[in-house]
Amino acid sequence: MLRKEANALTPQMYAELRRKVDFQEYSLEDVAKALEKTLFSVVIFDDHKPIGIGRIVGDDRIVFFIKDVVVDPEYQKQSIGYTIMHSLMNYIQEKACENAYIGLMATPNTEKFYEKFGFIQRPNQDFGHGMVKFVDKSYKIDNPMEDK
């Protein structure tokens, strides 16, 4: 029996489901710290087994970022991702001010799925490419304004 539960996401669920879809792995300690900053999350269970997750980070008014929408590969193509997104979008609709920004980064070949919820692909005539940078702790950025 499938059921949906809000704000039930644990570090273990997060790590397990991300591992199943070959997403970047993080330590449980880092995941726990990250999840503390989650505005809202949803977990879909098959009995007691977590099979889908999604969460929102942001300022809870103007900027929202949808993260970690993951469905166990054994359960994909069964509207579970749609149920997750529907819950996330409903939360945002209740909290956001007019013209608030909702961002996400789609994995390859999932863009059409997110378009069902009103997302647009970039680049286009109004927006450039989205960008991302992964932290490398050994990398140092020099500040030209600082005295050497």
Three-class DSSP labels, 89-112: HHHHHHHCCCCCEEECCCCCCCHH
- What pLDDT shows up at residue 43? 99
Which residue range forms the structural domain that includes residue 105?
Answer: 2-115
The torsion angles phi and psi of 36, rounded to 5 degrees, stand at -60, -25
- Whether 121 maps to a domain, the answer reads no
pLDDT beyond 80 at 147: no
Q: Hey, what are 129's tokens?
A: 């490419």
pLDDT beyond 70 at 148: no
Parallel, antiparallel, or unpaired: how do β-strands 40-46 and 2-6 relate? Answer: antiparallel
Q: What is the mean pLDDT of residues 27-34?
A: 98
Q: pLDDT confidence of 56, banded at 50, 70, 90?
A: very high
- Whether 142 maps to a domain, the answer reads no
- Whether 41 maps to a domain, the answer reads yes
Task: Give me the number of domains the chain comprises.
Answer: 1
pTM, 2 dp: 0.90
Chain mean pLDDT for the chain: 95
Which residues are bridge partners to 125 per DSSP? Answer: none
